[in-house]
Structure 1
Amino acid sequence: MPEGFEGYVRENDEDRSWIGRIADAFEAAGGSGSLSNVALDIAATGQAAPALQRLFQADLTPAEIAERWAALGLARADAAVFDGLPTDVLARVGNLEGVPYWARSTANALVLNQRLVEVERQIEQLEGTVASAGDGSRALAQELTALYADRKALRNINAALTKKGSDGKRFLISLTDHHPPLAAVSIGDLDRAQSVTWAVPGMDTTTADMTTWARAAQNIADEQTDVAGAPDRAVVAWVGYATPGPEDVLLMDKAKKGGQRLADSIRGFSAVRGTDHVETNVVAHSYGTTTGAVALAERGVHIDRFVALGSAGLPDGLDGAEQLHADHVFAAQAKDGPTGNTGEGDEWATFGREKSFGHHVDPTAQSFGATVFGADGGTGSEGQTLSSVLHHAPVFKDHRGYLDRGTESLHNVALATTGQDELLTGTRSQ
């Protein structure tokens, strides 16, 4: 083929590809609707679009990203335009701190669907290969096992996203490309909420069971509504870090990395909401309290209230509640149960602190200075009977975990995170 003609064919292929992307973007916008120059530019050139090059520039702060996003002029009404954007653009937008959450959730939901289709395709293809590989299939079988783990996580994230409580829609505000992915599902609209709570999990919480942690977050949201009415609130089921397993729960490594990611999430929220007055809380469980404390010791991070439940220990060197960048610090632990024996109290928290390498601090100790509330059952703020916590778990099949409905622990979490300290049960000043 003559060289000039080959170049001509290549240019025509590129033109057809460009026309296809523009047509997809217009179709997503409603066919007869109009698209901004920015939207057309992004649809046509993906990450090479100048507007995105500025947005994706390295080392930008969340505040700088928020400013550059605002300059794009894209609003919630433009959400359909995302259907025509390349996957690589969607994946970056969906996890970029400083971008409004409607845009992140729109992008992440599209990526989630694409990944579900792709992982199913890969599994189907590899299952056939493994079946015919004979003795040489070990490496392929390992790859297939990893794909099964990804599929389970992606399906569970999707289930957590599509199951709605009394508060309405859920939002997928982060979805990483880890294997399996990390993710965060917001129960309520973070762009509009006047009160936001991050729910931070502990050991062995992964997106493979995202529905369980979303249920714990939903319980917080429902209890907040019960004790304080229903203004605009959001609770984030945040599985935004690789939680430790039994082999490394006594170490600080996962807490340090997770704390940095949580700090980034809090900074990103502050950048998106700007000068809006929003009450912010972190409710952390077990090793999540270690992670949360790392985040709240970071410069440039501040919240209104931090609640530590069944703490596996805050970092050594954190001598008092005043060292955390939170206006109010609360803590609770159910009575100690025999280590490893569930159903008789908290069977792991004290063990986690005492045997740890680097996180020995007990937030319920009088010397720490937190407000300690009850978790062992009693009478609620409206005279209701509240159950005791009988497990270290956040939720349990008998509904006696720290964040189960009907427990004294959850009732007090809701009171603490809605500013009703005077109604806390089992309180003692530290």
Structure 2
Amino acid sequence: MGVEPDARAPRAGGEGAPQVGGERAPQVGGERTSRAGGGRRGRLRGLRRAVLAALVTGAVVLPLSAAAQPRTPAPAPAVLGPLTAATLDEAYAANRAAAAEASRMAAAHGDRQRAVADRSLAEPSRHLLAFDGRGTGLATEVFGDLVHAERVAVLVPGSDTGLDTYDRFRTAARALYRELASMSGGAPVAVVAWLGYETPGTVSTTVATTGRAEQAAPRLREFVDELRGILGRSARIALVCHSYGSVVCGRAASGTAADDIALVGSPGTGADSAAGLHTRARVWAGRSSGDWVEHVPHVGVDLFGTTVGLGADPVSPAFGARVFAAGDGGHSDYFDPGSLSLTNLARIVLGETEEVVTHG
């Protein structure tokens, strides 16, 4: 019912470093700041304006070309009953079988990349609570002993995460699991990699709005409720939400059965404050000094009935979250082994709130 830690720890930085999603700094194309703007402050203002322009363009102007592209065929998801401790093994086996069939269909279609990704998910060592190979693909994978875990982290990814890029997300989940296992003092822990929604593209018509998050939020709340049915009453659940995944967690916060919500590299939640999330969970926020998300404008612009922008900055004092230190890495470096951000996230999941570093 569990997954043993992988003995091969990913390298910190460079190829193989944990990445939750494929998000990179938006290319805003040659935008230059007037020298009259005054040094670094002027350059930052120029960058914010450029990023806002890119977000508005992505939300309103970019064509929906992906909809016209042929999609790799895949079987419908396995039909399963409610998840319980007694049905976990059945769910794992059924979803591995679905991934194997999806791999065969992708290979027959000529999509070698997807065939390889699906075949990897079908390996006997994988523990899939859910799998859907259609479209960009969905998967929910368990690391650790879910039945007996006392502390569970649900990792929610950001943009550009699908089955074709799933290994990056999985590497981050494994890194968090290893960190929890090493710090838990032998207490059973688990991490669930929840790719349970269709993530937006980093530069797309959807990444600057809460639309995808609104669609995903009920699914995430339902999944956390299912976890509660599997876990013991004393177990605690933390949502660890990276980038656009923090928008999903923000929209799911009201009514969620999670105990903690950690927003990592967040562009916003769609709310003006932590109180505006209407959750009983403790709300945390952290952003590294090298994360380009710092320069995303925290605005809301009404365009053709759609609000473009994701609201207040979660690490600002006015937002009211518990801010934790996240080091000096980039947007995809929060789960690097040995990083301050990974250590702090593990402390949050383990409930070691007094040990969380809040500055430095």
Bigger radius of gyration, 1 or 2?
1
Displacement of 1:322 in angstroms is 7.1
Displacement of 1:105 in angstroms is 1.1
Displacement of 1:155 in angstroms is 2.7
User: Could you say which residue in structure 2 is the equivalent of 1:413?
Assistant: 345
Q: Deviations over 1:7-48 (max 9, x none)?
A: xxxxxxxxxxxxxxxxxxxxxxxxxxxxxxxxxxxxxxxxxx
Contact 1:160–1:210 (Cα < 8 Å) also in 2: no
User: Could you say which residue in structure 2 is the equivalent of 1:152?
Assistant: 113
User: Could you say which residue in structure 1 is the equivalent of 2:257?
Assistant: 302
Q: Which has the higher contact order (CA 8 A, sep 6+)?
A: 2
Contact 2:273–2:319 (Cα < 8 Å) also in 1: yes
User: C-alpha separation between the residues in 2 aligned to 1:222 and 1:269?
Assistant: 20
Contact 1:98–1:271 (Cα < 8 Å) also in 2: yes
User: Could you say which residue in structure 1 is the equivalent of 2:237?
Assistant: 280
Which of 302, 321, 346 is the aligned partner of 1:370?
321
Which of 271, 283, 291 is the aligned partner of 1:329?
283
User: Could you say which residue in structure 1 is the equivalent of 2:331?
Assistant: 392
Verify: 1:229 aligned to 2:185, yes or no: yes
- Tell me the SS of whatever aligns to 2:191: strand
Q: Alignment identity in percent?
A: 26
Displacement of 1:152 in angstroms is 2.8
- Tell me the SS of whatever aligns to 1:276: coil
User: Could you say which residue in structure 2 is the equivalent of 1:190?
Assistant: 146
Against the structure 1 CA distance between its residues 153 and 191, is the aligned structure 2 distance closer, same or farther, given a 3 Å change threshold? Answer: farther
User: C-alpha separation between the residues in 2 aligned to 1:392 and 1:286?
Assistant: 8
Residue 362 of structure 1 aligns to which amino acid in structure 2? D
Contact 2:141–2:192 (Cα < 8 Å) also in 1: yes
Show the 5 A alignment for 1:304-319: 304-316=259-271, 318-319=272-273
Displacement of 1:323 in angstroms is 3.5
Displacement of 1:208 in angstroms is 0.7
Displacement of 1:280 in angstroms is 0.4
User: C-alpha separation between the residues in 1 aligned to 2:223 and 2:351?
Assistant: 23
Q: Deviations over 1:329-350 (max 9, x none)?
A: 2111112xxxxxxxxx111344
User: C-alpha separation between the residues in 2 aligned to 1:173 and 1:294?
Assistant: 23
Contact 1:201–1:239 (Cα < 8 Å) also in 2: yes
Against the structure 1 CA distance between its residues 161 and 326, is the aligned structure 2 distance closer, same or farther, given a 3 Å change threshold? Answer: farther
User: C-alpha separation between the residues in 2 aligned to 1:155 and 1:404?
Assistant: 25
- Tell me the SS of whatever aligns to 2:171: helix
Query: RMSD over aligned Cα, in angstroms?
Result: 2.6
Which of 51, 75, 78 is the aligned partner of 1:91?
78
User: Could you say which residue in structure 2 is the equivalent of 1:117?
Assistant: 104
Contact 2:96–2:121 (Cα < 8 Å) also in 1: no
Q: Which has the higher helix share?
A: 1
Against the structure 1 CA distance between its residues 158 and 188, is the aligned structure 2 distance closer, same or farther, given a 3 Å change threshold? Answer: farther
User: C-alpha separation between the residues in 1 aligned to 2:101 and 2:241?
Assistant: 32
Q: Displaced runs of 4+ in structure 1, greater than 3 A?
A: 96-100, 160-163, 321-324, 352-356
User: Could you say which residue in structure 1 is the equivalent of 2:11?
Assistant: none
**TM-score calculated relative to the size of structure 1:** 0.59
Displacement of 1:262 in angstroms is 1.2
Q: Structure 1: any 5+ residue segments left out of the alignment? A: 1-86, 124-147, 164-168, 336-344, 377-387, 394-400
Displacement of 1:320 in angstroms is 2.3
